Structures are given as C-alpha cells and as structure tokens.
Amino acid sequence: MNTRQAALFISHGAPTLPIEDSPTRHFLAQLGQDWPRPRAIVIVSAHWEAQAFTVNRQPRPGTLYDFGGFPPLLRTLRYPAATDAALAAEAETLLRGAGLRTESTHERPLDHGIWTPLLLMYPQADIPLVTVSLRHRASAAEHYALGRALRPLRDDNVLLIGSGSYTHNLRELRQDGSSVAPWAAEFTGWMDQALLERRDDDVVHWLERAPQARQNHPSDEHFNPLLVALGAAGDGAPPLKLHDDWRMGALSMACWRFD
C-alpha cells in the first residue's frame, strides 16, 4: 500500500542556510527526520524559470552555485541526488495532459533553492528527485494549475516541494534581529488567513487582493512555488503552518504543509 505524501512550501532563505545557526536550519534538519520518507521528490524552485514548464531529465544533475558574495565554503557543498527517469516522464505526461506548455531538458543542475533545503532535510542525497521549472511570465493561475497537475503523484509516495520565499524584498532587509516591518507583517497576516481558510481564489489573485503585495514581492518568482504547493493540496483541506521565523526584519522563513 502506497503512502500518500503531503506537499510542502519551504522558504529557503540565503544560500548560507546549510551552514548557519538559525531556527530555519534546525527546523529543516528535524523535519527531514520526522517526515514520512518519500520514495521520490518533485521540487519546483524559485531560481529556475524557463519559457515553458520544463522537466529536468539529467540523470545526475550537478550542483549550481547561482550566487556571489557568499563564503567560499558554500562552493564545496554538493548534492549528488539522482533523477528518477520514470517519474520525470510521468510528470511531463501529467503537465501535457493538463494543457500546460511543457518541455524537457537534460542540462539543468540543481540551484540553491533545491540543494540548500534538501541538504538539510535529506543530507545523504539518497532519495531520487525530479526538478520542474516555473514558467517565466506565466500567470499565478498557471502555477496553481502546475500544482494541480502534479497532485496525483502524491498518492504514489512522492513528496512535492515548492521552494521559494513567503516574502522576498531583498532591498528592504535590515540588520538581523530587527523588528518585523509593518508592511511585511500585514501581508503575511493576510496570506496566513487566506491559506488557512482555503481562499484559493484570493491567493491566486494575490497581486490584486493581498495588502502590500508588491512591496513584499517586487517580482513573482519566489511566490509562485507557494501557488504550486497550494495547487497540489487536496480540495478544501486546511494547510498547516509548520514553521515561522523572520530574518532581517522583512524576510519571512515560513514553511507550510498542504494535505
């Protein structure tokens, strides 16, 4: 009998997450120990956008250091997980069946939105995975539909992860330990209620309806993985906020579970 997995939204923070002493680092390390072990992982990262929803078929993706100005130690980290080829093919079939513009590639390495949380959750890199891109300039509704299309995989013990950020205005960051900016607190308070009440339509139309939407997300890519995770949720099932922390007064590290 197969285990039915939940879907996760993870705020992955800075690339230093695996080496820093922070509440989110400790939370993710413990989450990997407590979570029912999946047979495979399908993960969507804010740091991979393409012209179509793209499924990675590279058998052994390399580790991408898609950042600068961070400690050199980070470039020694590796996450050598293998791609599940059959699952990649199944994911591509599901996306095409949902009418989503879909492509595949054999060239994509794992960006830090993928390897930073997975290095903490599953440090042995022994769970096969499939990475799927966001679609550049696609609507919120399309990213929600991406989650809907992938949802059946949950019934086959596949963990779906959207890796992004609950808030992501890096220009407004202040000294770590600063009090939470009112505009960030207003946005996350509204979003918390919308998610808990399963007001999916409000979340999909977050740009028009959420307070301070653009101040919290000057661009969409770090919010879109949340839409994917929400789309993968069961109909009407309320989510659970697993973790909440703030960095530098404006960066929410919230993580959510969707059943």
Tens digit of each residue's pLDDT (9 = 90 or more) over 94-109: 999 999 999 999 999 9
- pLDDT beyond 60 at 1: no
pLDDT for residue 198: 98
pTM over 0.75: yes
pLDDT of residue 136: 97
The per-residue pLDDT for range 220-239, each reduced to its tens digit, is 999 999 999 999 999 999 99
Per-residue confidence (pLDDT) for residue 61, from 0 to 100: 98
Q: How confident is the model at residue 132 (pLDDT cuts 50, 70, 90)?
A: very high
Q: How far from 158 is each of 32, 115, 124, 231, 259, CA to CA, in Å? A: 14, 18, 18, 15, 13
Cβ-contact 112, 12 below 8 angstroms: yes
What's the half-sphere exposure (Cβ side, CA atoms, 13 Å) at 170? 5
Q: How far apart are CA 65 and CA 17, in angstroms?
A: 13
Closest CA to 86 of 145, 158, 38, 36: 158
Q: Whole-angstrom Cα distance, residue 212 to residue 216?
A: 6
